Amino acid sequence: MRLHNTLTRKTEGFQPLQPGSARLYTCGPTVYDYSHIGNWRSFVFDDTLRRVLEANGFVVKHVMNVTDVGHLTSDADEGHDKLEAGAKREGKAVWDVAKNYTDVFIKDAKLLNLLPPNGYSGPIGAYARATDFISEQVDIVELLLDKGFAYKTEQAIYFDVTKLDSYGELSGQKLSEKEVGAREEVVTDSNKRHPQDFALWFFLVGRFAEHSMRWPSPWGEGFPGWHLECSAIVHATLGDPLDIHTGGVDHIGTHHPNEMAQTEAAYGHKLANYWMHNEFVLVDGQKMSKSLGNFITLEDIIKRGFDPMALRLLFLQSHYRHQMNFTWEALEAVSQALKAIYGWADMQFQNLKSDGMRERYRQALDEINQVMADDLNSPKAVAILNGIVNQTSEVGADSDSIREVIPALEKLFGLNLDKRQDITTEIKVLISEREKARLAKDWTNADELRSKLELQKISINDTSQGPVWSRI
């Protein structure tokens, strides 16, 4: 299995720390608002990576965090807390906002058929909230202070990036280059030693004097910086170093380098061996923003009548390392492709026989496994799946063979292919009666029975293999 490692800038063979296992940490949502389709692309990528690892025989231990404190409107510790801003926007307590959008995220993750993380179990189940790891975050800050990697000002405790030679290796940008690009005029705390130093713990002063979320610490009340939670959660749940850490490309410049620095300075080893990042989603060729009116959520997709699995398939049709352009027309087209795939999957319930298709299905499954194991080449894998669906419509299907490959295809694609159900006995009787009328050339009765079937949302296609039904 080959994966593209952002750290080495190479696509390389995956070598886990322990043979046959993979410890995977994926950056989760910040729960101050609905997740948009750019976020969901990242989470579907994470899910696909896990599925492919498992399909290739690895036992995956997976943890995903939920950021419910400390994420500011700027990665550089400037601006306001996003959770506090969400509470102000909705006129609710910050804790209620966090709970609401956490619940929405978990519900939507199920709709997109994401496998729940399996490496942690806590107050909200499988997901690791930042606020459930406050003491662990405090412990890391104490370690960093003791080792001379952190310092205290009146406003916060900061990590001193100049003390770690490897800082910035993920982005490939030297500190001197970052310093030239830094806009020092926007730095709130003039006592920061370097523009790239980042907050580990904020105190309840200045802009955060009325911060709702606060905890005691050896240095006084406050709350953790955003970057700290991931290092603490990884160390407490999976242990470090990890095999794989994922996130969006927007994390390469600041968030992930800061995570790496904290862990390496505190514990003396790397946070992860492989770093994988997915690209952005554009909408009609533009970056998503609420001001442009193109901020699209899963709720928007469903309100327009689309199956969430169509969005998942749309994501799979683009390679995770390439930017993807979302349009409603593209989603409509992929919905039709999904309908064809489901129609093919439904053929498993129909007594269809076609010589040679069993071998073709097996061959296609082997090809799909190979391309997915090559840095998750999902566009090629989807093309192969579409190919056998189209070929089936031309030369006929083999029901037994479809049943044979469905579980393996579902394991890789996660399109709910294994959730398809047979039609009722009543509908089967109508199909049988219509076929008898058709063979007797009783066209009036055959047409009436076809209309009855259409009312049951069933379409009939007369083929050389006999009548083949599909759902409308």
Question: How much is the pLDDT for 176?
Answer: 66
What domain count does the chain have?
A: 3
Instruction: Among 228, 261, 278, give the residue marking a domain's end.
Output: 278
CATH number of the domain enclosing 209: 3.40.50.620
**Does 258 lie in the same domain as 207?**
yes
441 has a pLDDT exceeding 60? yes
Question: How much is the pLDDT for 380?
Answer: 98
178 has a pLDDT exceeding 70? no
Q: What is the pLDDT of residues 298-314, one digit of tens each?
A: 999 999 999 999 999 99
**Does 193 lie in the same domain as 291?**
no
180 has a pLDDT exceeding 70? no
Q: What is the pLDDT of residues 128-167, one digit of tens each?
A: 999 999 999 999 999 999 999 999 999 999 999 999 999 9
Tell me the average pLDDT across 261-283.
97
From the list 359, 418, 433, the residue with the least C-alpha distance to 391 is 359
Q: Which DSSP symbol is given to 18?
A: S
Question: How much is the pLDDT for 292?
Answer: 80
Domain membership of residue 447 as a residue range: 425-471
Angle 290-327-418 from CA coordinates, rounded to 5°:
110
Beta strand extents in 262-383 (DSSP E only): 272-278, 281-283, 286-287, 324-326
**Does 121 lie in the same domain as 192?**
yes
296 contacts 289 by C-beta, under 8 angstroms: no
Question: How much is the pLDDT for 28?
Answer: 97
**Residue 81: φ, ψ to 5°:** -70, 130
Instruction: Among 255, 278, 301, give the residue marking a domain's end.
Output: 278
282 has a pLDDT exceeding 60? yes
Beta-bridge mates of residue 286: 283
**Does 406 lie in the same domain as 318?**
yes
**Does 230 lie in the same domain as 292?**
no
From the list 35, 431, 64, 455, the residue with the least C-alpha distance to 247 is 64
Instruction: Among 375, 400, 419, give the residue marking a domain's end.
Output: 419
Question: How much is the pLDDT for 61?
Answer: 98
**Does 155 lie in the same domain as 59?**
yes
Residue 108 CA to chain centroid, in angstroms?
11
**Does 176 lie in the same domain as 287?**
no
**Does 436 lie in the same domain as 335?**
no
Q: Which DSSP symbol is given to 122?
A: B
Sheet with 272-278, edge to edge strand ranges: 128-129, 59-66, 21-26, 242-248, 272-278
CATH number of the domain enclosing 313: 1.10.730.10
182 has a pLDDT exceeding 80? no
As given in the structure block, the two tokens for residue 27 are 């950056």
- Residue in this structure with the two tokens 């409308």, named with its chain if needed: 472
**Does 269 lie in the same domain as 302?**
no
Q: What confidence category does residue 77 fall into, taking pLDDT thresholds of 50, 70 and 90?
A: confident
Tell me the average pLDDT across 87-94.
95
Sheet with 324-326, edge to edge strand ranges: 286-287, 281-283, 324-326
Mean pLDDT of the chain: 94
**Does 434 lie in the same domain as 409?**
no
Tell me the average pLDDT across 342-357.
93
Lowest mean pLDDT among 43-52, 182-191, 282-291, 365-374: 182-191
If you count them, how many residues does the chain have? 472
As given in the structure block, the two tokens for residue 169 are 């290796």
Q: Which DSSP symbol is given to 348?
A: G
Distance CA 210, CA 149 (A): 29
From the list 249, 201, 245, 189, the residue with the least C-alpha distance to 226 is 201
**Does 263 lie in the same domain as 330?**
no
Tell me the average pLDDT across 172-176.
74
CB within 8 Å of 176: residues ≥ 6 apart: none
**Does 466 lie in the same domain as 374?**
no
From the list 83, 103, 102, the residue with the least C-alpha distance to 93 is 83
From the list 293, 309, 291, the residue with the least C-alpha distance to 301 is 309
355 contacts 404 by C-beta, under 8 angstroms: no
235 has a pLDDT exceeding 90? yes
CB within 8 Å of 356: residues ≥ 6 apart: 395
Distance CA 12, CA 28 (A): 25
